[in-house]
């Protein structure tokens, strides 16, 4: 770590609590890049305090006496964001009754913090790229090129590389912004910082409203440390304020704390529908195609199971009578499914008395039978293989033959994809 940087004094100046190595590394990088005019991209989950790092960069730079403006790109409608950032001329659009300066003109000589940069429309991204490359912009409704000297610090909680692959973010803009990337760690990765921040928020509330600060018992500390805090520091502050207001007890037990913690959101969808790690974006394959794949896989597994049971029971010449009687209800259940017209899945076990004479039924002891589905399995297997081959071809085309991303889209491992490509003779694609 650079000895010329006093990280503790920076923490005191900007109100940052904690001593985790990840946090200290982020502060050091911010302090190192601050005296330069390099563009900075700050990444991290929502609520981790990315805006605080943009202020560190501005205040420790030569632009500290200039303007600082924080803009949430995701909160500005697409139709007005160009006007907000670059200004507009009178009459440029309906409601433009006068000329207006944009943020890049107002902050000339200062710093602009573009939060949630991943939400910026592609057209606005092109305008921003011109500012970063040449320091030039054009107001909406004007043809006059204007100059500005603004340092851009951007932040996002999204995976911009994935957005680039989905054509939602410009690759050239990404590399312009990320000259120096800074990662702000989530609260769950900061160890004992969690308790320091909790105590700080509790003390702040106590001082503001002149009440005794809340404290955690040992079991409550364990409960707190086990919670993932998807909302990070912002969520922790709201939690402390809520407990401080509503709890009559100042010593908070694990049971009391648990009543304030919302249940963690966990997806109940199959793995194919889950989002990529650290992102908010779903897979590029449509939901209908994924659903079809899940259903085809389930049907294939069922047919494999039916075929296996048929082969085992057909090969056995001595089936335990007690075992058959013990599972008679199971046989009866499958029989009702087989006879019913509403189901499309034939049963494994079929009661001879509940079905008409059929040449594909092989009799067993105790008047039970197993349906011979070997011919059906072969036909369905061919159909499923054809569908699987089509989906693999489609995924490879959508990802420009990048097998790594095709495997992700299909919800399978790269090794499995390579094996299936070889199986279906798709190496030439």
Which of 185, 208, 236 is the endpoint of a domain? 185
Residue 237: band (very low, low, confident or very high) from pLDDT cuts 50, 70, 90 = very high
Q: What percentage of the chain reaches a pLDDT higher than 70?
A: 71
Residues 203 and 235 in one domain: yes
Residue 197 shares a structural domain with residue 228: yes
Identify the domain containing residue 15 by its residue range. 7-185
Per-residue pLDDT averaged across 237-264, rounded?
Answer: 93
Range scoring the smallest mean pLDDT among 108-122, 219-233, 317-331: 317-331
Determine contact, residues 121/77, Cβ cutoff 8 Å. Answer: no
**Tokens representing residue 422 in the block:** 């070889």
Q: Are residues 147 and 83 in the same domain?
A: yes
Task: List pLDDT tens digits, range 351-396.
Answer: 444 444 444 333 444 444 444 444 544 555 556 677 788 888 888 8
Domain boundary among 230, 260, 290: 260
59 and 173, same domain (yes or no)? yes
Domain tally for the chain?
2
Q: Are residues 206 and 169 in the same domain?
A: no
Cα–Cα distance, 382 to 128 (Å, whole number): 53
Q: Percentage of residues in the chain with pLDDT exceeding 90? A: 57
What pLDDT does residue 423 have? 82
Do residues 125 and 197 both lie within one domain?
no
Mean pLDDT, residues 204-226 taken together: 95
Specify whether 91 is located in the same domain as 204.
no
Span of 86-100, 209-223, 249-263, 266-280 with lowest mean pLDDT: 266-280
Q: What is the mean pLDDT of residues 411-423?
A: 82
Mean pLDDT of 197-210: 95
For the cut 60, the answer to whether the pLDDT of residue 81 exceeds it is: yes
Q: Do 98 and 193 lie in a common domain?
A: no
Assign residue 199 the CATH number of its domain: 1.10.8.60
For the segment 300-329, the average pLDDT, to the nearest whole number, is 56
Average pLDDT of 309-322? 54
The reply to whether 221 falls in a domain is yes
- Give residue 347's pLDDT band: very low, low, confident or very high (50, 70, 90): very low
Report yes or no on 152 lying in a domain: yes
CB within 8 Å of 258: residues ≥ 6 apart = 223
Model confidence at 1: pLDDT above 70: no
pLDDT tens digit string along 170-197?
Answer: 999 999 998 889 999 999 999 999 999 9
- Residue 282 in any domain: the answer is no
Q: What is the average per-residue pLDDT within 402-422?
A: 81
Structural tokens at position 322: 């007690």
> Do residues 220 and 252 touch, judged by C-beta distance below 8 A?
yes
Residues 70 and 116 in one domain: yes
In a domain, 106, yes or no: yes
Q: Kindly state whether residue 136 falls inside one of the protein's structural domains.
A: yes
Which of the four pLDDT bands, split at 50, 70 and 90, describes residue 260?
A: very high
Residue 260 CB neighbours (<10 A): 14
Residue 178 lies inside a defined structural domain of this protein: yes
Residue 333: per-residue pLDDT? 42
The larger pLDDT score, comparing residue 103 to residue 326, is at 103
- Residue bearing the bigger pLDDT, 118 or 282: 118
Task: Give the per-residue pLDDT at 427.
Answer: 74
Q: Are residues 71 and 142 in the same domain?
A: yes
CATH number for position 69: 3.40.50.300
Band the pLDDT of 281: cuts 50, 70, 90: very low
* 228 and 124 co-located in one domain: no
| Residue 99, domain member (yes or no) | yes
| Residue 21 sits in the same domain as residue 160 | yes
Contact 147, 136 (CB under 8 A): yes
Give the pLDDT mean for 121-149.
95
Residue 238 lies in a domain: yes
Of 260, 279, 302, which residue is a domain's last?
Answer: 260
pLDDT, one tens digit per residue, over 266-275 is 433 344 444 4
**Cα separation values, 24 from 5, 10, 28, 228, Å:** 11, 10, 6, 21
pLDDT at 251 over 90: yes
């Amino acid at each position: 770590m650079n000895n010329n940087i006093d990280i503790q004094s920076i923490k005191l100046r900007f109100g940052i609590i904690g001593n985790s190595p990840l946090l200290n590394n982020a502060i050091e990088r911010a302090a190192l890049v601050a005296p330069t005019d390099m563009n900075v991209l700050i990444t991290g989950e929502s609520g981790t305090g990315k805006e605080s790092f943009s202020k560190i960069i501005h205040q420790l730079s030569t632009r500290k006496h200039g303007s600082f403006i924080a803009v949430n790109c995701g909160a500005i409608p697409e139709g007005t964001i160009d006007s907000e950032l670059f200004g507009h001329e009178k009459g440029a659009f309906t409601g433009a009754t006068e000329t207006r300066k944009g943020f890049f003109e107002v902050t000339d000589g200062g710093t602009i913090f573009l939060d949630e940069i991943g939400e910026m429309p592609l057209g606005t991204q092109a305008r921003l790229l011109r500012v970063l490359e040449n320091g030039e912009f054009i107001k909406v409704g004007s043809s006059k090129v204007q100059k500005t000297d603004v340092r851009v610090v951007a932040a996002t909680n999204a995976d911009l590389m994935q957005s680039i692959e989905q054509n939602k973010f410009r690759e050239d803009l990404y590399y312009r912004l990320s000259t120096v990337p800074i990662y702000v760690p989530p609260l769950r990765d900061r160890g004992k910082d969690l308790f320091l921040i909790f105590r700080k928020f509790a003390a702040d509330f106590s001082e503001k409203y002149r009440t005794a600060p809340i404290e955690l018992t040992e079991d409550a500390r364990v409960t707190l440390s086990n919670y993932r805090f998807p909302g990070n520091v912002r969520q922790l502050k709201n939690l402390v304020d809520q407990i401080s207001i509503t709890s009559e007890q100042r010593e908070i037990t694990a049971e009391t704390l648990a009543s304030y913690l919302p249940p963690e959101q966990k997806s109940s969808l199959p793995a194919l529908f889950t989002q990529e790690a650290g992102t908010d974006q779903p897979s590029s394959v449509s939901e209908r195609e994924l659903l079809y794949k899940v259903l085809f896989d389930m049907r294939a597994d069922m047919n494999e199971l039916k075929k296996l049971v048929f082969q085992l029971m057909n090969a056995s010449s001595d089936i335990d009578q007690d075992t058959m009687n013990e599972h008679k209800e199971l046989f009866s259940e499958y029989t009702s499914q087989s006879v019913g017209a509403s189901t499309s899945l034939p049963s494994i076990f079929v009661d001879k008395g509940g079905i008409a004479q059929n040449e594909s039924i092989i009799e067993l002891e105790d008047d039970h039978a197993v349906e011979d589905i070997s011919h059906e399995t072969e036909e369905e297997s061919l159909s499923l293989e054809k569908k699987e081959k089509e989906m693999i071809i489609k995924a490879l085309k959508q990802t420009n033959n990048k097998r790594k991303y095709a495997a992700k889209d299909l919800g399978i491992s790269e090794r499995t994809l390579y094996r299936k490509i070889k199986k279906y003779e798709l190496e030439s694609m």
